[in-house]
Amino acid sequence: MTNRIEENHTEAEISRYLPDAAPLPMPEQVIERAGFVSRIVSALVPPLQSIPGLRSLRS
């Protein structure tokens, strides 16, 4: 492996001293069940979140 400075800065990243690319697939996992419980949670959460002024702590 050679330490090198990437020739081009891509839009996605500012890169310095990167290792050579060696991609490894990392498939997204299924972690939500599209069923009864999810429907209940989905139904309950939006009304609570719709309370004005309580959306975010970010400045």
Q: 18: helix, coil or strand?
A: strand
Buried b (16+ CB within 10 A) or exposed e, 15-40: eeeeeeeeeeeeeeeeeeeeeeeeee
Q: How many binding residues for other proteins (CB under 8 A)?
A: 45
Binding of other proteins at residue 49 (CB under 8 A)?
yes
Give residues 11-30 in contact with other proteins (rule: CB under 8 A): 11-30
Q: 41: helix, coil or strand?
A: helix
Binding of other proteins at residue 55 (CB under 8 A)?
yes
* Residues forming the site for other proteins (CB under 8 A): 1-5, 7, 11-33, 35, 37-38, 41-42, 45-46, 48-51, 54-58
